[in-house]
Each structure stands twice: as C-alpha cells, then as structure tokens.
Structure 1
C-alpha cells in the first residue's frame, strides 16, 4: 500500500493542477476555440473502447489504455503488428522471425524462440485469444481500431495476460449501408499491396461484409530475406432476428509466403550497409572467421543459403452471440483456430520448423445494464489446444532436434463489479480463478561435430497449475472532464515444459501492478492530457535462452537448447503522458512520452560452453561444472551467470512519439492533409547476454505523408516516406553459437527507409 500511496500523492497533485487549468484559462481571458455548430469542429474526437468488456469512452475508462482508430492505422501505414512500436511508445514489438513477433509492453514480454512459446502480452483478435504468437500476423486490414491495455489483465481477459493485452477489432457488418472501398499501394522494394472491403445489407435484419488483403514486396536484406508476401481474407455475416438477439458469424484466413525473415551480424559487417543478409558471402566469411578453428566446417558446404522460406497458414472461425435481458446482456463467443507453420530461416545457422496447432475456446459473459449504482460482469472461459511441432536447429557445429506434442486445457471463472458510492466516486473489485493443465510428449537429441542426425530420447510430463488473480480500484471525477483513478492488479501466466531428460519444467510467472492515473480534457475539448504512474513487481519471469539441458547421451550429456526458465524477481517503474491538442480546425498536435526504469533484483541462469571457454556475457559468472551431474565431457563447462541488477530487455528508459497534422481546405471542398511524426528512443539492451555490442543506441525515426482528399470524399491519394533517416534499428539479438564463447552476435533489424503511393476509392 505504501507504493500506491506514493503514486497517489503525486497523481493527486498533478490532477488537481490539471483540473483547474480550464478555469484558469477562462479567467485569464483565453477565448473558447469552439466553432458554430454548422462549421468545422475544433474539438477532439471521442474514441469508444471495449477494454473493460463494455462500450465506454476512452476518457471514462479508469485504466491505462491507448486506442488507435482504423483510419489512423491506415494513414500511418501500419500493416504489421511490429509497426505499432512507432505509434505507441509503451510497446516494443520485434518484427517476426519465422513468423513469430516478440511483443513487449512496459518492459514485460517474451522472446518467443520456439513453436511452444506463449506471450506475456495477450493478443486478441475480434475478442478471441490467439495462443500461438505467429497468429498475430496478417490481420491489419479493414480494422476498426486497436486497443493497447497496459498492465496485467487478470480479471476480464483470457489466458496469459500478465503484461497486458493487444486487442485488434475489425470493422463489422452494417445493416443500413451499402459501401465498399479499395486501396492500391506501390513503393520501393517493388512493393505491391492491395486491400478492399464490401458491406452488403441483405435485409433490415442481416448484412454481409467481405474484406481482403494481398501484399508482395522484395526483401530488405541483400540476399532477399525480410520480404513480405501474403494473402488474407475475412467474411462476416450479421443477423439481428429480433431486437433482443444479435448473432455475428466470422471466418478469416491468412497465408504468409516468401523467403521470410533472417538475422544480420551485429555489429554490422558493413557499417555503411547494415542490411547484409546471412547468405551474403560477406556475412558467411565473417561468421567462419569468428568461430574457433576446431569448429569451422567447410563454409562452401555448411553456411546460410538463399533457400529460406515461409509457408504459414492461419485460419479460424468464431461467433459472437448476444442477447439483451431486462437486467443484463449475455455474450457467448465460441471459436476455433488453426495454425500451420512451415519455415526455414537462418541466424546464420538454420532453423527448420513445421508445426500444427489447433485451439478451441468458448467464453460466456453476463454484464449488467448501467442503470443503477452497481455495474457488474461475470463470466466463464474454457480453452483447449493441441500443438505438434518438429524443430531442427543446426549451427553446422551442433544440431538439436526437438519433436513434441503439447496438450493444454484451461478453465476459468471471472468477474468484476463497480459501485458508485456517489455521483463522482466509484469503487471497483474483481477476481479470476484459473485452472490449467498441460501435458507434453517430447523426443529430442543433440549431436556435436557430426553430419549425422542425432539419436532421439523420449520424455513425457503432465502438470497442473491453479491461480487466483484480482484487482481493486477507485476512480473519482475531479471535474466534469477530469478523472482520477488508482488500481492494484495481478497477472498470471502458466508454466510449461522444455526438452530435457532431467528437469524440464518451468513455473508460472506472476506480476503485481500498482498504478495511479488521470484523464483530462480542457479548453472546450481541444486539449487532452492523460497521465499514469506505475510500479510493477515481477516474480518468476519466464525467459527463453540457450541453456544446458540433459540429453541422456553418454558422449554428450549436456547440450545447448533454447529453453524457457524462471529468473527470479524484477521491478519496473515509470510513468506515461499522452497529450493531444486540437489547436485549430486544421491543426492537430500529439505527444506521447513514456519513462521506464526496470531492474532485475534476482536473475541467475546456467550457461553451457562447448569448449570450456568463459561465457560471452556482460554479467558476473562462476564455473559451476564441479557440481554438475553427470559431469560434462571435457573440455566443456557449465557456468552460473548472475545478471541481477541489469535492466529488462527491450525496455528503453525513455520513448516518445511527437506528431503534427495540418489540413488545407480548398474552395471546391477538397483538401490536402500534411502530417509528420517522429519516434524517439533511448538506448536499450536487446538480449539477456547484456553485451555492450548488443545494445541498440538511442535513435529517432521520422515519417511523413501528404494526402489529397477529393471533394466528395470518394477517393484519395497519399504519398508517404517512413524511416526518413534510414536507421538500422535492432529489435532483438542473440548469439547463435553462444556455447562456443566466441561472442558472435546476430540481430533482427527493422525496415530501412521506405516510400510509396497509396490510392483509395470508396463507394
């Protein structure tokens, strides 16, 4: 409670000052900027969100949530989940490698290194939790809005939302409007992209909406990797047979093809050209030059090649059934989703993965009408999943094969209620009980200095976890448009398994969050300032890294395999400020700033060195080989690494996004919109190795666009340029041959400068 008291004290002081701003301005003679009712508005738009499972204004939601409208996403060129980084400073999302994006929110996230990994930030598509991280791709078309919920979502949302949630909400069918639109985009790197939708009312009680997207772009890297090829489609049917019933059926499909993503050597092989891919002869030479002599296979035979590919398919179907009772609304969402992954990528060793994941879920919620002082929501959730994957990791010195079948079953009951003590003061409490059972059958093996496939051993496990998460909060209207709130909430993410004959289980992670915030509108709805301070206690965080695992082999009793393990405790503190100013009917200025101070208070892990060399890390370490059983084969060694005191990865201390937009109105009714924004980031660590060469230095990345809108709003043309500075920004990094202690490092980097034209026609 002392933490919340400290946060509240500062929050109240700022809120009281902010709530008096409008009155002070008026007393000082500042004129109102409102325009007549029949003129162009100078006020900020209201954004409606469903972050708390009911529709409410963003400014009235007593939680930390950022919302981006579909038009804003389109104008900013957000085509992939990783593009959200430049729009929401609290989010850092690494581009997908092998189709798996890495999502971090306020320093909480997961380096998803294999087909069984799960995110700490839940990704929800149209109200359905998506378990496989790769399922976050191919959804950014015909989007109504994206909601970013910060902090644990332990009372209202599905599985694994210990760090927050990303909600992508598509446009839905409309009963009263026949409409259609199509967009064609061309750009550098031979970009060809198109998306379209059509909305057809079938009657006054039914409507159909179809939408789709196609993209084809060459790779950013010199060997053709980091390209983008995909096709997606969504079909929805809305039925409203009576005033009380509403049924929406939805099905979607996405195919991702092309060469896929790859890593580049970092520090870069050529500082003047960072985008040199792993199959480029310059990268191959640098790779083998950095390996110990005894380990260097023939680079003419064993090296990264240009045959990498992605052939991933995602499809799903779900229904949203609602019924209005006199006292409450019932919502039922049954869903089925399937992910089929097939890809080969290089880093620079090869990673070959095939997987098939099937998930089924059903959620039922009953929420009260808001006609009394008490509003409430109660629900149940059931989820089951089967994932089978074959994974082959080959560095051309060691090769590891992991074939596993995972079964997961989750049941949960949850609820939340808010009571209005007065017209201005409200109290909130909620809870969730989760029961989760996982079982996994695995076959795995590792070989060293052998061209033969390793022999496989088997292991089967079953575990059950139960968890209770909760939330308490209070919010108070300081003024008609000034809301002060404070919350304490907890989050939970289930444990799981990794491949090992010995210990092979990792435990759940838990997060407790304290937050105090305020949301304000001033000066006749032209200025918006939202502020939140937060303090997180993170326990048993799950991280993925190369670690020594027991193989069961007498010749190679240990081998480095990507595993998930718990790392003790950390704390994350900071604040976020979001500001918007509608200076005139034609001018909009935006600014979002986040400060994050993260630190591991307890973080130790094991490091396996194939040749016994000291580990290539930026943390303290000791040789722990003597205590290992069975003893590693000489001259290999196991080290204990202590990174306590280090900051979280992908958690820059300062981030900001500044934007300006101006509309030029012409006499014929047409208009021209000029907009620019810049994303600024302080330096941050990109890997748990904490090497100085793995740090992404502070940078800024700017974007600009110019849009002409026709007088009848039936068509528009946009010229844009992103990453004007042509910055090579590292999103994540790793040492693919960490076990050699040679320090070779590879990184996943963001897109270089891109530019193009985008034309839209509407009906």
Structure 2
C-alpha cells in the first residue's frame, strides 16, 4: 500500500486542504478522504477549510507519536514543549497562558489541559489539523485552529485486530494493541492499549566545578518517559437511524521531558556554562506525573435528512511536578506543585438538509474546576461557559455556494486564592461575551477543483493567572484577569485533486488582538495581554502520484508574523537568588525588571519559512512489498518560548534554522510488516526550547538520532 505522507495545509480558515493519498489502492484521489471538519461527513476536497488529514499508516511510517511530531508533516505548525506544557501553534497563533489557543478534540470531546495534550497517538484512525480560527464550528478557544483526533469505533458484526511492538535506542520499547469484537447483532466492544518507555536523551553531567558536588551520579537519565493508556468503547446500533458509543479512556504519563533545564548561562555557576550536548546539572532527578480519566457518551439519531448528535463527557486530570530550576549542583531550587482539573462538557449538534440549504446548529455547555497547590497557596479557577452556534451553507447553483455562521459565547471565570495557613484569602470573578462570525464564498471550477474566499473570527476567553504567587489581594498586578484574545482572518485559496496531482494554494492575513502571554516581574509570573500582532503569508501543498507505487509530496509555508504593538515586553534580566541582573552587566543588580518594546519582533513559533517533503515508494519484492518512506523538514529561525533581548537587540532565545530528516524502511507480507526507522537521521543537535528564569538562560536539547525496529500486524 502506498500512502503519500502529505499533510500540508493548504487553505485556511475557510478554505484549504492537505491530503493523504492511498495511491496504490485508492481508485480516486486524496480528496475522496472523508473528514468531519464542518461537523458533518464530507469529502476533503469539498471542505472550504484548511485541513491536514493524517492516516494511521502515515503516522507509523513518519514517526508521528504525539502532538509534538505534527510539524514534521504540517507546514506552518510548531509545537512547543516547555516545562510540562505542550503548546501547539498554527501560523504563529498559540498561547501558553491557560488553555491552548489551538483547541484539541478527541472523538469530539474537548481536551482543556495543556499537559495531557502530550498523550500518545495510539489506535487512531486519523488526525485532522484545521488551520485558522474555528470560531463557529469548534469555537472553544480555537483562535489558531483545532486538532481533532478520531479513534476507530467498534464494528457491528465484524472482528478487527491490530497491534505493533518496537525496540529502539536508549532502552526504548513499547507497543499498541486494538481489538474489536461483535456482541450479538446490535452491540460491539473494542479495547485498545498503548505503552512506551525510554531513558530519554538528557543525562546528568560530570561536575568539575570547584565547590560543586555530584548529588546525582553522572550518566543518570534525567528525562526518562513512561506513557500508557487504555480505551474501551461499547457501541449500540439497533437500526440504521440510531447509534450510540460509550467510551472509557485512562492514561498515565511519567514524562519529565522538558522539565530538565541544561544551563547555557547561569549565575550560580559563574556565567557561561560549558556542558557537553545532552548533559545537565540537577540536584535531584525531576518528576512530572500526569494521570487522566475520561468518560463520554455520544449518540446520533437520524430523522430522514436531519440528524441530532449529543456528546456528553466528564474528564479528570491530575498533575504532580517536582523539578530543580537552579540548573546547578551548588544550590538546588526546588519547584513543586500539584493540580487537579475536573471538566464536564455537553454538546448538541443538529444537521439538516432542506433543498439547497445545508444547516448545522448546536449548543456547547462547559464547566471546569481547576485547583493548583503551589508555593504555599491553593489557586482555584472555576469556569462556566455556554455557546450556541449555527453554520449555514446555501448552494446558489451546482457550482457556487455561500457559507455563513455565528457562535455566541458567554463565559464566567472565578478565581480564589487561599493560603495554606488561612492568612490570605480573596476571590474575584469576571464574565466575558463574544460573537464570532464566519463567511465564505466557494466556486467549483469542475468536479475536482475549486476556489474560495473567506472571512472568519476566533475567540479565546479571558482568564486569571494560576501561576502567580505571593498574592495578598485582588488588586495585585498578578491577580488581574486577562482580556479575551480575538483573531480576525481573511483568506483566498485554490485547490485541485486528481489521481495524478493534488495541489492546494492559499494566501492569508490575520489580525490578532489582546494576545495572552506571560511577563516576569520580580521573579513572579504575571499574565498579560500583549496588545496586537499581524500575520500574513502563503502556503502550498503539492502531491504527485506518478505510479501506483510512488507518491511524492512537498509542502511549504511562507509567513510574516510580528508584534505590531507591545510596549511592555519581558525584562532582559538574569540574576542570582533574590537579585536581578542586566544580562550584559552581571555586576550591578537591578532593583526592578526593565520593560522592553517588542514592536516589530517575530511572534513566537512563527518561522518565516517552513518546508517539508518526501516520498513513499512501494517495491514488490518476493511475496511482499518493500516500502521506503523518507521525510525532510526545514524551518528558518524562530523563538519557541520567549524573548530575551541583549543590548544589541538580539533575541538570545531564538533558535537557528533547522533541518531534520526521518527515515522508515519496511517490508510487508500478508498481515505483517517489519520496519527499521530512524528519527533525526543526520543527528542534527540544537536547543529546541531555549528559555530563561531569574538564574540564567537554558535550552532543552532536541532528540538526537534514534534508531529502532518495529513489527506490526493487522487482521
């Protein structure tokens, strides 16, 4: 089987596509893939929204294990992993404050916690990446877009089974399993599971510093991981008009990954630090434990050309972290917190077709209770939101259609700060309202191509800062609620799909207001709104299938994303415990932070150029097929976590241009496939997450070359 590992992103907020093609078996084109980006099943070609649809086999071939790997196939997408937070960014739009600006859904259930967004892509049917603000159809904090993960439903009357196992360097091993069994002629049950562990790639360094110590033996793994998950689905399908699926999902992530801070420059260590690559100093091995449990019930009832779908879900996330932020062996600085998040959501979606009109209407209800135990206090944030929405498609002719949509959102946030000893207590609350519109004109040039123009808006609710410490009243700077983010997007695009050639082009312009970000004042985290940003650019995706055995893809994004107004950015400081220092003058301490004007600086996770490409080649050999699947990703320089300017105006946290090459070679015979693979084949080494705190600046090393082997079966 040939699968074009394409997934570009080609059109946007309301008109684009990226495609996955099964060239050897598909009688049509990538555009015949069915997606649900407009809350109903449609051909990918027919959807005027920028989509990257990644199949299960493509994810295996291209080493797509978690959200962190999506940039390998989707240009314009970057994913930051700093500390415990996983922050997807689409076309420069993303935020590490509160919930992500790119919403994530699994089987239609919204996932609010940016920590558990790291969970594995196991037993997944496909992943859809929607670009641009999804204010109407996926409106929950989707200013940047949405990532929707679809897992297989059990089949009535059919038996299905598949599994995989792998071994790789640094004691990496694991696997996945999935089985679906019929229970009579109306019920079916599926069970899936996944497990992965590895020693990681950061180890404790050898301490040669005078006066230092070796509290952790040199060579001890510092970012080891263990991921596991189980999902059970029970399906009830009594007739063609009713279908219900009850799901239980549980997962554990023991992943200290990005909580290790290899120092680049550190005041405790006397300034610049000369550590070998993939080594760090810590006073103890860090811990980051995540556990989540989710229950959901989805049912659909058909009434002729009308259907009603209900999705009810309850989710509980627990997170415990214990890290040494000193980046040294001289004076460990322990940071510990524990958080619990309980979320209930209910959504109704009504689909109806009335002559030339296709209508989608719905209601989303959301209740979230978050509590964090951090530095002597409990931080509570309670959220209640209700959002009705409607999206109408009117077919003026067989070739011309217009789309209009609206979502109204009401949200109330309550923040409570309660000290352990009861000495400090206060409560604040704030309400937010928004109307997000969508308008599209789409014209079909023929059955396989169309052009479109779109306007859309996205909205991310305001919130309170649950990372602040030492608060004494609601008047404190760090206790002030943030304003809501708002993004307005314009786009024009073209897409064409045929058996031989798939091409999609798009040009876009964004205006981003009230950007939510963090600022550090006297060692405290202060959430703030960063005024305005502007993003414009273009994207392309090209997939060529010259034969049934070869598919070649190239995807690219050219983008200009800059702050257009931000007079009070983060301070350019370093320091020892309790004192702050000018980065270029570590002798004289500063009393307070120094604000900087960030106007004209590049937005975070917004490289000016990103390209990925590769091919999928199937060669008949003996009784089986040899498959070769390389992938190359390039991105120009950008900053993933923050801005730290030196006196010349250079951002010390910017990453340089990067090239990553992955490769997979497999042999498939019957129901089995064995593969050898390499991630970062050229062993390109760089700091993937440069950042800073009051002690200095540091950078998490990217994953070095990793070679492994995998076996798969499918029944």
TM over 0.5: yes
Which of 437, 441, 445 is residue 412 of structure 2 equivalent to? 437
1:529 aligns with 2:503: yes
* Contact 1:42/1:584 (<8 A) preserved: no
Taking structure 1 as reference, are residues 158 and 692 closer, same or farther at Cα in structure 2, changes over 3 Å only? closer
Of 300, 305, 312, the residue aligned with 2:284 is 305
Map of 2:263 onto structure 1: 265
> Do residues 182 (structure 1) and 163 (structure 2) align?
yes
1:74 corresponds to: 60
Tell me if the contact between 1:612 and 1:637 (Cα under 8 Å) persists in the aligned partners: no
Instruction: Give 2:74's aligned residue.
Output: 88
| 1:236 positional shift | 0.3
Counterpart residue number, 1:489: 456
Map of 2:187 onto structure 1: 206
Measure the CA separation in 2 of the matches of 1:41 and 1:535. Answer: 35
Closer, same or farther in 2 for the Cα pair 1:654/1:267, shift >3 Å?
farther
Task: Provide the TM-score with structure 1 as the length reference.
Answer: 0.81
CA distance in 1, matches of 2:458, 2:145: 9
Partner deviation per Cα, 1:312-335 (whole Å, 9 max, x = no partner): 101101011100012311000010
SS in 1 for 2:603: coil
- 2:359 equivalent to 1:372: no
- Could you tell me how far apart the structure 1 residues matched to 2:359 and 2:105 are? 22
Query: How far does residue 637 in structure 1 lie from its aligned partner after superposition?
Result: 2.3
1:38-79 CA-partner distances (Å, limit 9, x unpaired):
x96686443211011111111111111111011111222211
Tell me the residue number matched to 2:621.
666
Report if aligned partners of 2:139, 2:459 keep a CA contact under 8 Å in 1: no
Which residue in the other structure is 1:417 paired with?
392
Question: Displacement, 1:227?
Answer: 1.9
2:214 alignment partner in structure 1:
none
Give distance in 2, aligned partners of 1:102 and 1:310.
Answer: 17
Greater gyration radius: 1
Q: Is the 8 A contact 1:68 1:147 kept in 2?
A: yes
Q: Which consecutive residues of structure 2, in runs of 5 or more, have no partner in the other structure?
A: 1-10, 16-21, 205-220, 267-271, 328-332
Work out the number of aligned pairs and report it. Answer: 646
The superposition leaves residues 380-422 of structure 1 with CA deviations (integer Å, 9 ceiling, x where unpaired) of 1100011111124xxxxxxxx5521111000110000010111
**How far off is 1:311 after superposition?**
2.2
Closer/same/farther in 2, CA of residues 325 and 730 from structure 1, 3 Å limit: farther
Q: 2:303 aligns with which of 325, 328, 341?
A: 325
Tell me whether 1:544 sits opposite 2:518 in the alignment.
yes
Counterpart of 2:207? Answer: none
Q: Is the 8 A contact 2:570 2:643 kept in 1?
A: no
Residues 672-692 of structure 1, C-alpha deviation per residue, up to 9 Å, x if partnerless?
001111000111123222444
* Structure number having the greater helix percentage: 1
Distance 1:679 1:270 in 2: 30
**Corresponding residue to 2:372 among 365, 375, 389:** 389
Q: Is the 8 A contact 2:570 2:644 kept in 1?
A: no
Q: 1:722 to 1:568 in 2, by over 3 A?
A: same
1:754 correspondence with 2:706:
yes
Q: Unaligned regions of 5+ residues in structure 1, if any?
A: 1-10, 16-33, 280-303, 393-400, 446-453, 549-558, 619-633, 739-743
Q: Distance in 1 between matches of 2:195 and 2:630?
A: 27
Distance in 1, matches of 2:441 and 2:369, equals 40
Counterpart in the other structure of 1:697: 656
Counterpart in 1 of 2:679? 722
Is the 1:158–1:381 Cα contact (8 Å) retained in structure 2?
no
- Whether the aligned pair in 2 keeps the contact of 1:659 and 1:677 (CA below 8 Å) is yes
- Mapped pair 1:338 → 2:316: yes
1:11-38 per-position Cα deviation (integer Å, ceiling 9, x unaligned): 9xxx9xxxxxxxxxxxxxxxxxx99xxx
Q: Is the 8 A contact 1:126 1:167 kept in 2?
A: yes
CA contact (8 A) 2:580 2:593 kept: no
Contact 2:264 2:274 in 1 (8 A): no
Aligned to 2:434: 467
What's 1:22 paired with?
none
Picking from 42, 45, 61, the partner of 1:56 is 42
Conserved 8 A contact 2:399-2:444 = yes
Q: Does 1:141 align with 2:122?
A: yes
Is the 1:335–1:362 Cα contact (8 Å) retained in structure 2? yes
- Say whether the 8 Å CA contact 2:139–2:407 is kept in structure 1: no
RMSD value over aligned CA atoms? Answer: 2.5
Give the 3-state SS of the residue equivalent to 1:604 in structure 2. Answer: coil
Structure scoring higher RCO (CA < 8 A, sep ≥ 6) equals 2
